[in-house]
Structure formats: structure tokens, C-alpha cells
Amino acid sequence: MPETTKLHPKQPVAAALASRAAVRPALRQGGAFALGLAGGWAVLYGALLPFGLGLTLGLPADCFAACAAGAALSILFHGFGAFSLDSLCLLCAVGAAVAARWLWPGRLRPAFLAGCGTLVLGGVCFALGPGGAGFTLVFFCGADALLAGGFGYALQRFPPEKPGFGTLLATSAVAAALGGLRFGPLCLGAAACAMVDAALCCRGQEKPALAFAAFTGAALCAADPSLAPAAVGLCCGTAAAVLLAPGRRAETLAACAGGCVLGVLCVPASGTALPLLLSAGLGLAAPAFFPKHWLTPVPEAPAPPEEPPRLSAAATRLEAVAESLSSLAETVNAVYDAFPRRCDTFRWVIDNTHDSLCFNCGRRETCWKQEYTATLEGMNALRPILEQQGHLQASDLPGQLSRCIHPAALCAAANRSFALYRSRKEAHVHAEAMRTALTEQYSAMADALSVLSEQLGRPGNPEPYKSGRVAAFFASLGTPPLECAVTLDDLGRARAAVTLPRTRFSSPELAALAQETGRICRRDFDPPQVLSCKGMTTLLFCEKPALRAVFGTAGTAAKGTVSGDAVQQFCSPAAAQMILCDGMGTGRPAAVDGSLAAELTARLLKAGFTAELAARLVNVALALKSDEESGATLDLISVDLYTGTARIFKAGAAPGFLVHGGHARPVGDISLPIGILGGVNGQSRVVHLAAGDYAVLVSDGLLVDGPGWVAKQLELSAAAGDPPEKVARILVETARARAEQTGRPDDITAAVLRLEPCGH
């Protein structure tokens, strides 16, 4: 038997999983037993019984024995006690398959050879023995063995727990079993299939409904050829519901009913039409009484890949995409540099005024040839007037242009030309900004994909033994994992990733899972991160770090209650992140820029972007946010909670402070905020922190009297062991009092992080 990990009920945390560990396996065993009953009872083409053996060969290791018991019971009592040689051969084959799976766990070939071989050999022995049954028994046993082997292999390849082909195979066995059961005029198979198919159509699951209709219709026909009209009606009704009214209950049921009527018209004998119509009608009427939330339309999730993705191939593909984006940005810049620049100067205004007015004037020869120098001086004298006032009047004309016989028309033409000139310059600046933003975004995304490709290319050193034990532990809870991998990273830290069919866990259950998984891997795990996508749930376990971060923040606005400073503080699975953004100016416009920069930076960091890449993308977002000038400082510190390594990134931010060993020192140099230039002029540095150290980020309003008093106050607070919230509040209150004395109010914010031992 495969090794399984048992829960320890004496452990208080593991008690949260006791109910799940007891109920889920029992439900799986009961479901497997019921499926075995149906598979053993189903008869195909009047003589074949392949489902019982096929289910025994194909179901997972934790429930095949219960399925075999149900199949044996159905085979034994099939025909209400009429025991045949074929049934005896099937019982021997099921027993041989169970014995082989117990003796060689995890090896499928011995089970297939034992089950199918025993069935064929039993048929041959009975056929050749005294009073032999003849070739017919050998033929039926061989057909059963062939179908059972194919059925079992398909279930091994496509587990029935995972929605898809395996689920349809198990459903077809149940449909075939119900197809042979009748209660008076009612056919249970036709009624059950119509009910389930109508429910799927009402939920808007078009592809599952069509697949279900096709598989169950074929199973009904194989179980009883007289049910072929019912199968035709089922398929026609499903197709009509999917095409005409997907996800709408009343219209769906009407379309299904129309398909069933069409199937009844195919009945050759009128005596069988009414029972089939009655069975289908009862099945279609049942969903009308279901609770409303059972039939709520759900979006169809795409089928997951048949095989686990190959990390090396994915990494190579991501690297290729990154190179394509990078080359795209370089190509755009190269083409832009290759084209000649269009240099519009004020001479364009003069030429356009001449072409629109003076070209058709009778004094053109005099003004623009005989007195060209004086005319050109007069036109150039219009430039400061137009740039200052934006328009020109006849009284503003200089003396060189006083001889013009159309002064009003000259002013109007000059005004139009200058407006076009200014519009062309603004369009050129806007196009330049858009090109810079586009190429910067392409380049930043290329760098981000390159980093992700590097991470995927180094998935870690696998631990197959521990992976198997963790998988067995989850299987013992009744949730066999679809994928399970325990790996070690470059620093020797263990990580476990377990992918399950979509499952919900409570907080105590997650804590218990972390404790049990950590005990198996001999590591101390934090509660896992839960990711749900496409009908699957992935649990990511990481080792508990050596340090933990305690945050504190305080702030006050320069005027009113709206501050332009924004703070984000959070912990990712491996690092503590603290962000402070100061919008340019004060009030609501500054608050919008600061909050936008902080929120976008936090999202990008949580997605795995580095500080430099996040700053580049946020820079583009601020530059394109509106036509008004937008800018914000970016102050960021990221602390690795395993090693204490801190990475500081500043773009236009005020100096921060580090308190290490009781001594405070400022960190940070002068740089420009983000959102102003096409690129980011940021600075980063790496420092090392230990338990008890502080990291402090402040806005420029707090440094109204310089950084000296801040460093002294931090040393006093560190010596007293003040919590971060208190440290931030003292700094802000003191800075506020100093600002009121100097008469220079500004938004004041302090964000404090202190490292503590993880068990503290």
C-alpha cells in the first residue's frame, strides 16, 4: 500500500483538519462504491459488462477497492440471482485486479495484465472444459477485457475528479446502468440524463452540456437500443438550448422540450413514444424546482492543459517575448532618429502669412522685393507681441508695416498663422511624449518578462520523496492533488506548491495544513498563500522567515484634511515593503498623484516587479494621466525577512533614516521625481539590517529644520524601544510644531518599520 501521512489528533492545530480528514475520505469511498454498483450493473449490447472491471483498474489508489466491492456486488446479483459463467469470470478478474494493485502499488501494468488476463483465461478455460460453453464465451470475455482495459486506461489518463473526459466516462457508466432500469412506463436513464442536461444548459455551460448529451446518449443506446429516440431527442434539445437560449431557464427548458418532441417523432412504434415522452418530461421539469442559486449561469472555465507546463520551455518563450518587446522599442527609436526633424520656427508664421494674404496683394512686389529687409524686420517684430498677448491688433503693428494697405487683414492672417504654429509645436511635443512613453513602457515590460523568465528557468532543486509524502498527505484528506512539488531554492529554503481541484479552506485549516506539511518536510512553514484560477486551487507554502516586520505611520496635512503624501506598508511571502509617495504641491491634486503612484507601485511589487521596473511603469502612468503636469516622489524600501538585506530606492524623495545598533544615519541623495521626465532618475542602494533596527521614510515637510533633530529623536526612541506607531507620531508632532514656528507649513508624513525576531 502507498505510504500515507496520518493526522495527529493530539496536536491542537491539526484538530481543525480532523473533520475534513474523516468526512472527505468517507465521501470518496461511498462515491466509489456507488459508482462501482452502477458500473457492475450496466450491460452493453445485451451481453457485455466492462464497466466494473474498468472502474477498478482506473480509479485512484484510495478508492479503487470500494469501487471493486460495489462492482462485485452488482455482478453477483445481476439478473436477480441468475449467475452465469461470464459473471464468474468477471468476479475473478475484478479480484485479480484488486490483488495486483495492492501488491504493486503505483504500477498499472500488473493490474491491467492480471485483470484482463484473468478474464480472458477464465473464458478460455470454461470454453475448453467439460461441457464447454463454446467460442461465444471466449468472444464475450475478450470483448469485456478489451473494453475494460481501454476504459481503465482512459480513467488513469483523465481522472474523474478533474472536470473533463474522465468525468464524462464515469457519467456514461451511470447512464448505461440507469438505462436498463424501468419503473412501469418511466425510464430512469432518460429522465436522469434529461434533468442533468437541462441543468447544465440553464447554467450556461454550453460545451459541458453538449459533451454530456453526446456521451450519455451513446451510453443509453448501448444499454438499450429502444432508447435511441430518447438519445436523439436529448442531443437535439441540448443543441437547440445552447444555440437559442444559453443561460436562460425558461427558454432553455422550452428548447429542450422541443428537442424531446423531435426525438419522439423518430419512434418507429407508437406504443413506446408515450413512455419516452413522459420520462423526458419529468426530467426536464425537475430543474424548475431546483434552488435558484443551483442554476445561476457561470462563465465556462477553459480546460487546463493535459500535461504540466515545462518550465524551461516557458522560460525560453518568455525570454523571446522580452527580446521582441525590447527590439520593438529600439526599432521605434531608431526609425525616429533616422527621419529628418521638422523644425518649425517663427519664420513659418511669416511664410504662412505671406502665402495667405500678401501673395495676391497688388503691393507684393514693393513690400517683399523692393523693401524686403524692412518688411522682414517688421514681421519679426510681431513675434514678442504674439507670444505675450496671443493675438495682434492693428494698433500693434510696428512702423515697418505701417504702409500695409490691409492692416486688419494682416492682423487676422498673422493671428491664424501664429495659432497654427503654436498648435503644431504642441502636437510635436505631445507626439514626442507619447513616443517616449511607449518605448519606455515596452522596455520596462521587456525587462520584467526577462526577470520572470530567469525565475522560471531556476525552479529550484526538486525533492521527490517529500513531494510524494505531501501528495499522500493531501490524498488522505480526500483531496488528491493534481500537482505537488517540494523544491529547495538557491539558499536552501524549502517551498511547496500543491495544486488541487477548487477547494475552500478556512484559516484554522490553512494553519493546520502548514503545520502538517512542515512536519513532513521537517521545516517550519507559514500558512500558505491561496491562489484560485480556472477551477483549481494552488497552495504555496514558504518557510517562516527569521525576521518579522512591524509597521507604523503618522501624517498631517498642510491645510485641511487632504494630504498629498501616501503610504503603503505590506509583507509579501519573503519581504517587507514600505512605500512613501509625495505628490507635487499640496491639496487634492497632490493627493491624487501621491495616491496613484503609491497604489500602482504596491500592485507592481506584489506582482513580482523590481523597484526600478515599477518606478519606470509608474513614471509612464503619471506622465499620461492628464494634460496637466503630474509628478510625485517615490521612496521605497524592501527588506528580505530571511537575511535582513534591505534595498532602498529613491526618486526625488527626501532622505530617509536607518537606525542600526542604536545609531541613526540619513540615507538618500538628490534626484528628480517620477512623472516629469521620459525616464526615471532614481537611485538605489543595498544595506543590511538586523533584529531591533528601524527604517524610517519621511516626506520633505518633516525636514523643515534639517535632518539633525530627526536622527537624535530616532536614537532616543530606539534606546527606549518605542513601537513604530509611537515613533512615527512623535516625529510628525514635533515637525508640525517646528513648521508652525517657522511659518512654512507642508504635508508631513513619517513611515516606520522595525525588524523583530520571528518568534518575538
Examine the pLDDT at 309 and tell me if it is beyond 50.
no
**pLDDT class for 306, splitting at 50, 70, 90?**
very low
**Domain-embedded: residue 6:** no
Q: Calculate mean pLDDT across residues 202-221.
A: 81
pLDDT in tens, 506-527: 888 898 999 999 988 888 888 8
pLDDT at position 125, please?
81
Global pTM?
0.51
Task: Quickly tell me which residue has 509625495 as its cell.
Answer: 582
pLDDT in tens, 647-669: 998 887 888 999 998 899 988 77
335 against 419, higher pLDDT: 419
Rounded-to-integer distance, Cα 621 and Cα 266, Å = 64
pLDDT in tens, 130-146: 655 567 778 888 888 88
* Least confidently predicted of 75-84, 93-102, 189-198: 75-84
The boundaries of the domain holding residue 526 are 461-542
Examine the pLDDT at 310 and tell me if it is beyond 50.
no
**Domain-embedded: residue 12:** no
Examine the pLDDT at 572 and tell me if it is beyond 80.
no
Q: Taking the CB of residue 666, how many other CB atoms lie within 10 A of it?
A: 17
* Least confidently predicted of 534-543, 670-679, 750-759: 670-679
The answer for residues whose C-beta is within 8 angstroms of residue 553's C-beta and 6 or more apart is: 567, 569, 725, 728, 749, 750, 751, 752
Residues 258 and 362 both lie in one domain: no
Q: What is the largest CA-CA distance in the chain?
A: 135
Most confidently predicted of 5-19, 379-393, 728-742: 728-742
Of 542, 568, 594, which marks where a domain is finished? 542
Residues 108 and 211 both lie in one domain: no
Give yes or no for a contact between 563 and 747, defined as CB atoms under 8 angstroms apart. yes
Q: Taking the CB of residue 281, how many other CB atoms lie within 10 A of it?
A: 15
Rounded-to-integer distance, Cα 93 and Cα 91, Å = 5
Residues 146 and 291 both lie in one domain: no
Examine the pLDDT at 53 and tell me if it is beyond 80.
yes
* End-to-end Cα distance, the chain: 43
Query: Shortest CA distance to 602 belongs to which of 588, 617, 620, 587?
Result: 617
Of 436, 458, 480, which marks where a domain is finished? 458
pLDDT in tens, 605-616: 877 777 777 777
Residues 208 and 72 both lie in one domain: no
Q: Calculate mean pLDDT across residues 462-480.
A: 86
**Domain-embedded: residue 740:** yes
Cα–Cα distances in Å, from 461 out to 455, 522, 626?
13, 16, 48
pLDDT at position 578, please?
93
Examine the pLDDT at 600 and tell me if it is beyond 90.
no
Residues 390 and 441 both lie in one domain: yes
Query: Shortest CA distance to 633 belongs to which of 591, 588, 673?
Result: 673
Residues 247 and 220 both lie in one domain: yes
**Domain-embedded: residue 409:** yes
Examine the pLDDT at 293 and tell me if it is beyond 70.
no
**pLDDT class for 215, splitting at 50, 70, 90?**
confident
Residues 395 and 325 both lie in one domain: yes
pLDDT in tens, 142-153: 888 888 888 888
Q: Calculate mean pLDDT across residues 69-74.
A: 84
**Domain-embedded: residue 630:** yes
Residues 466 and 365 both lie in one domain: no
Task: Quickly tell me which residue has 487676422 as its cell.
Answer: 412
Q: What would the grid cell of residue 263 be?
A: 426525438
Examine the pLDDT at 245 and tell me if it is beyond 90.
no
How many Cα atoms occupy the beta-carbon half-sphere of 480 within 13 Å?
12
pLDDT at position 553, please?
93
**pLDDT class for 278, splitting at 50, 70, 90?**
confident
Give yes or no for a contact between 212 and 197, defined as CB atoms under 8 angstroms apart. yes
Of 246, 265, 298, which marks where a domain is finished? 298
Q: Calculate mean pLDDT across residues 311-330.
A: 61
Burial readout 93-108 (b: 16 or more C-beta within 10 A, e: otherwise) = bbbbbbebbeeeeeee
Q: What would the grid cell of residue 696 be?
A: 524610517
Mean pLDDT of the residues in the chain = 78
Residues 501 and 435 both lie in one domain: no
235 against 1, higher pLDDT: 235
Q: Calculate mean pLDDT across residues 380-400.
A: 82
Question: What radius of gyration, in Å, describes the C-alpha atoms of the chain?
Answer: 39
pLDDT at position 12, please?
44
Q: Calculate mean pLDDT across residues 668-675.
A: 62
DSSP output for 110-129: HHHHHHHHHHHHHHHHHHHS
410 against 265, higher pLDDT: 410
Q: Calculate mean pLDDT across residues 275-298.
A: 71
**Domain-embedded: residue 65:** yes
Examine the pLDDT at 550 and tell me if it is beyond 90.
yes
pLDDT at position 181, please?
76
Residues 568 and 440 both lie in one domain: no
pLDDT at position 327, please?
66
Examine the pLDDT at 80 and tell me if it is beyond 60.
no
**Domain-embedded: residue 19:** no
Residues 325 and 275 both lie in one domain: no
Residues 529 and 552 both lie in one domain: no
Task: Report the percentage of the chain scoring pLDDT > 70.
Answer: 79
Query: Shortest CA distance to 10 belongs to which of 634, 708, 512?
Result: 512
Rounded-to-integer distance, Cα 441 and Cα 690, Å = 36
Examine the pLDDT at 126 and tell me if it is beyond 70.
yes
Rounded-to-integer distance, Cα 537 and Cα 358, Å = 77
Examine the pLDDT at 43 and tell me if it is beyond 90.
no
pLDDT at position 716, please?
92
Examine the pLDDT at 260 and tell me if it is beyond 90.
no
Which burial class, exposed, middle or buried, applies to 742 when counting CB atoms under 10 A from its CB (0-12, 13-18, 19+)?
exposed
**Domain-embedded: residue 502:** yes
pLDDT at position 14, please?
52
Query: Shortest CA distance to 520 belongs to which of 492, 494, 552?
Result: 494
Q: How many domains does the chain have?
A: 5
**Residue 520's CATH number:** 3.30.980
